């Protein structure tokens, strides 16, 4: 980690903060704002404190480690597209036909010997300081509380090491970890994750489950923890493949799990599989709080560290955040592996304001009628792609997927009800909008063919359209039109929502001569001049089976917060909003320097 910090410093990608800054809200709020800047940097807090605990820490805190594309590329050692090319080359290996082919293959095979982690004897640097038993105190670590309504402090960049009951399958994942007290923390591993599968094995056998949590070390360990590898593939293999050298592991002090020797902290312990505790709420990467649920508890048996460790944390909430850059690397690196199950895939993008699993745009080679709809089912059946809620498919002649203006024009010129598929399946456990936990609607839109032949709409001004709308529905308080030059002009509508949105959609039918796509959002907390945050709101707030209304040339989307009017009986969570008093204090102390327009652009405060 110290080497990583020096590397960032050399590249002018590090900002050092010497002031005393509180681990509750202050450090997270500074990091939250910093990473939204165009020139964002990694932050090193030299003097973290806790007013809540009346404590000063000797351990510095790093936030936004992957705080830019450049930093992410530095830690990978190369551009992620180069890594993807290397993976694709391995996947396409053929028997060598010539001596040169054989020599080339030998070189590749020699490189692969470095993929597998290597277990060392003795202790590592991560075990220079050992605290066991009565010496264990999680509050000795500068663990952050990010949001006012969080259930407590959370470890947000922990590398969670687990293994199957028989010890044959290893897993490295990243899950948020809530601190309950000095010796216990909650493990938010979701029902679809490998660790949850292992937990059920131990539970069935009536045995305690070992868990070790590493923090820090080589940043590539942290990225590998997020890698969407198939079940049974140890994520540290990616470290070895990318780094070209074995991850060197040492055995934990109080359980049999192995962790990288050079991480900064290791929290070891055991999970009593007969015990669950309420975990949450927590303001997560969706930009909403995830609500309280019961999860396993880690009873900490040891905390080990380097003599001079560094604590690493990430801040999650409304985009854009650090996961934008980590997700970019994942998206590029795993393209070849995705192509093995979806061979007609050309490229894909997961915009950060689509919160990754809520929106994917996929470019494909279309060969026959219905190809894209076939492709949708393939996507929804592939590993973590199965969690994607909204998928838009374009042909291989479409603009670059990252050119959002051009690609959105292309898509909107190809939207037709006949080309829309509404399905259902598993959802991410963090999803709040579906009627059922972790299960809900899926939306697939086939925009591969330019076959929309209906007459263009009679476009009128926002003012004229609003007058017509007000005559039909008094719930609508404001509108704005977008992309009126395309075949699918959009009308955004703010509503007071005194009746079901489906009724508003039906009563507004006469305006379909002027528009094609109606998007309803709540009157509060939405700015119709801010499309970036509107996309974030819409893809978070809809379940395709309930909230998509389809009539020929007249489509509606209900992106309001759901309640009894929508027959929604789950509890709707709050947005993650920064504390206004904390923001103002940080401004006055010169720790953040952004204006009100910046705060509004990213909906930072309520």
State yes or no: pLDDT of 94 exceeds 80: no
Query: 323-447: what CATH class?
Result: alpha beta
> In this structure, how many other beta carbons lie within 10 angstroms of the beta carbon of residue 204?
10
pLDDT at 102: 52
CA distance 453 to 364: 23
pLDDT band at 194 (very low <50, low <70, confident <90, very high): confident
Decide if 222 contacts 310 (C-beta within 8 A).
Answer: no
Q: Which residues pair with 64 in a beta bridge?
A: none
The residue behind tokens 């939405």 is 526
> In this structure, how many other beta carbons lie within 10 angstroms of the beta carbon of residue 54?
7
Which pair of structure tokens corresponds to residue 322?
């650090």
Q: Measuring CA to CA, which residue among 321, 319, 435, 441 is closest to residue 65? A: 321
Whole-angstrom Cα Rg for the chain: 25
pLDDT at 429: 86
3.30.360.10, 3.20.20.60, 2.30.110.10, 1.10.3720.10: CATH of 111-313 = 2.30.110.10
pLDDT band at 530 (very low <50, low <70, confident <90, very high): very high
pLDDT at 134: 94
CA distance 50 to 63: 17
For the residues 79-89, what does the mean pLDDT come to? 92
pLDDT at 376: 87
pLDDT at 93: 58
pLDDT at 107: 56
Decide if 525 contacts 575 (C-beta within 8 A).
Answer: yes
CA distance 68 to 308: 26
274 to each of 106, 180, 302, how far by Cα in Å? 50, 18, 21
State yes or no: pLDDT of 104 exceeds 90: no
pLDDT at 112: 72
- Grouping H, G, I as helix, E, B as strand and the rest as coil, residue 163 is strand
pLDDT band at 338 (very low <50, low <70, confident <90, very high): confident
Plot region of 280 (φ>0 → left; ψ -120 to 50 → alpha; else → beta): left
442 to each of 124, 317, 549, how far by Cα in Å? 47, 23, 14
Same topology for domains 323-447 and 462-566, yes or no? yes
% of the chain at pLDDT higher than 70: 97
pLDDT band at 455 (very low <50, low <70, confident <90, very high): confident
CA distance 603 to 534: 10
- Grouping H, G, I as helix, E, B as strand and the rest as coil, residue 461 is coil
pLDDT band at 314 (very low <50, low <70, confident <90, very high): very high
What is the set of active-site residues? 284
Which pair of structure tokens corresponds to residue 166?
């028989």
CA distance 474 to 464: 15
Residue ranges per structural domain of the chain: 111-313, 323-447, 462-566
Tens digits of residue pLDDT in 352-364? 999 888 999 999 9
Q: H/E element holding 4? A: helix 2-10
Q: Which of 42-51, 83-92, 170-179, 310-319 has the lowest mean pLDDT?
A: 83-92
- The overall average pLDDT reported for the chain is 94
State yes or no: pLDDT of 109 exceeds 60: no
pLDDT band at 56 (very low <50, low <70, confident <90, very high): very high
Burial of 326 (0-12, 13-18, 19+ CB in 10 A): buried
Tens digits of residue pLDDT in 244-271? 999 999 999 999 999 999 999 999 999 9
Tens digits of residue pLDDT in 4-17? 999 999 999 999 99
pLDDT at 343: 85
Q: Which of 104-108, 255-259, 473-477, 535-539 has the lowest mean pLDDT?
A: 104-108
pLDDT at 91: 73
State yes or no: pLDDT of 386 exceeds 60: yes
We find that the CATH architecture of domain 462-566 is 3-Layer(aba) Sandwich (3.40)
State yes or no: pLDDT of 201 exceeds 90: yes
State yes or no: pLDDT of 327 exceeds 60: yes
pLDDT band at 178 (very low <50, low <70, confident <90, very high): very high
pLDDT at 297: 98
pLDDT at 320: 97
pLDDT band at 161 (very low <50, low <70, confident <90, very high): very high
> In this structure, how many other beta carbons lie within 10 angstroms of the beta carbon of residue 192?
17
Our CA angle for 587, 47, 312, nearest 5°, is: 95
């Amino acid at each position: 980690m110290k080497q990583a910090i020096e590397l960032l410093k050399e590249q002018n990608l590090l900002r050092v903060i010497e002031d005393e800054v509180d681990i509750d809200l202050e450090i997270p709020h500074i990091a939250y704002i910093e990473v939204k800047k165009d020139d964002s940097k990694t932050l090193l807090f030299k003097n973290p404190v806790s007013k809540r605990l009346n404590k000063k820490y000797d351990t510095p805190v790093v936030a936004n480690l992957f705080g830019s594309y450049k930093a992410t590329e530095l830690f990978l050692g190369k551009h992620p597209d180069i890594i993807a090319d290397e993976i694709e080359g391995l996947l396409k290996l053929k028997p060598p036909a010539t001596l040169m082919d054989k020599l080339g293959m030998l070189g590749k095979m020699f490189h692969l010997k470095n993929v597998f982690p290597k277990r060392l004897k003795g202790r590592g640097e991560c075990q220079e300081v050992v605290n066991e038993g009565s010496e264990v105190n999680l509050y000795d670590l500068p663990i952050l509380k990010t949001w006012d309504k969080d259930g407590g402090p959370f470890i947000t960049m922990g590398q969670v090491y687990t293994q199957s009951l028989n010890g044959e399958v290893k897993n490295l994942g990243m899950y948020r970890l809530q601190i309950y007290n000095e010796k216990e923390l909650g493990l938010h591993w979701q029902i679809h994750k490998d660790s949850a599968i292992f937990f059920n094995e131990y539970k069935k056998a009536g045995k305690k489950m070992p868990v070790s949590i590493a923090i820090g070390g080589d940043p590539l360990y942290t990225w590998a923890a997020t890698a969407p590898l198939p079940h049974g593939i140890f994520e540290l293999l990616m470290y070895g493949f990318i780094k070209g050298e074995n991850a060197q592991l040492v055995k934990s002090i109080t359980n049999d799990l192995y962790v990288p020797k050079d991480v900064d902290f290791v929290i070891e312990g055991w999970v009593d599989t007969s015990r669950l505790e309420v975990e949450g709420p927590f303001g997560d990467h969706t930009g909403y709080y995830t609500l309280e649920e019961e999860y396993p508890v880690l009873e900490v048996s040891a905390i080990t560290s380097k003599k001079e460790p560094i604590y690493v944390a990430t801040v999650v909430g409304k985009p854009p955040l650090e996961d934008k850059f980590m997700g970019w690397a994942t998206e590029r690196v795993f393209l070849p592996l995705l192509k093995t199950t979806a061979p007609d895939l050309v490229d894909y993008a997961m915009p950060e304001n689509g919160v990754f699993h809520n929106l994917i745009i996929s470019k494909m080679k279309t060969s026959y009628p219905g190809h894209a709809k076939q492709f949708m089912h393939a996507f929804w059946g592939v590993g973590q792609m199965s969690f994607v809620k909204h998928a838009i498919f374009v042909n291989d002649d479409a603009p670059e997927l990252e050119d959002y203006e051009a690609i959105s024009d292309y898509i909107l010129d190809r939207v037709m009800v006949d080309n829309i598929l509404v399905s259902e399946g598993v959802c991410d456990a963090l999803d709040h909008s579906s009627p059922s936990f972790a299960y809900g609607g899926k939306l697939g839109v086939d925009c591969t063919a330019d076959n929309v032949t209906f007459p263009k709409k009679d476009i009128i001004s926002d003012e004229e359209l609003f007058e017509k709308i007000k005559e039909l529905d008094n719930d609508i308080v404001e509108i704005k039109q977008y992309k009126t030059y395309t075949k699918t002009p959009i009308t955004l509508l703010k509503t007071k929502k005194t009746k079901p949105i489906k009724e508003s959609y039906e009563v507004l039918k006469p305006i379909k001569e002027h528009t094609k796509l109606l998007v309803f959002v709540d009157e509060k907390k939405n700015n119709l001049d801010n499309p970036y945050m509107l996309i974030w709101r819409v893809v978070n707030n809809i379940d395709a089976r309930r909230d998509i209304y389809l009539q020929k040339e007249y489509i509606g989307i209900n992106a309001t917060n759901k309640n009894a009017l929508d027959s929604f009986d789950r509890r709707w969570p709050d947005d993650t909003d920064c504390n206004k008093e904390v923001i103002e204090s940080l401004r006055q102390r010169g720790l953040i320097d952004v204006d009100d327009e910046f705060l509004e652009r990213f909906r930072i405060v309520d």
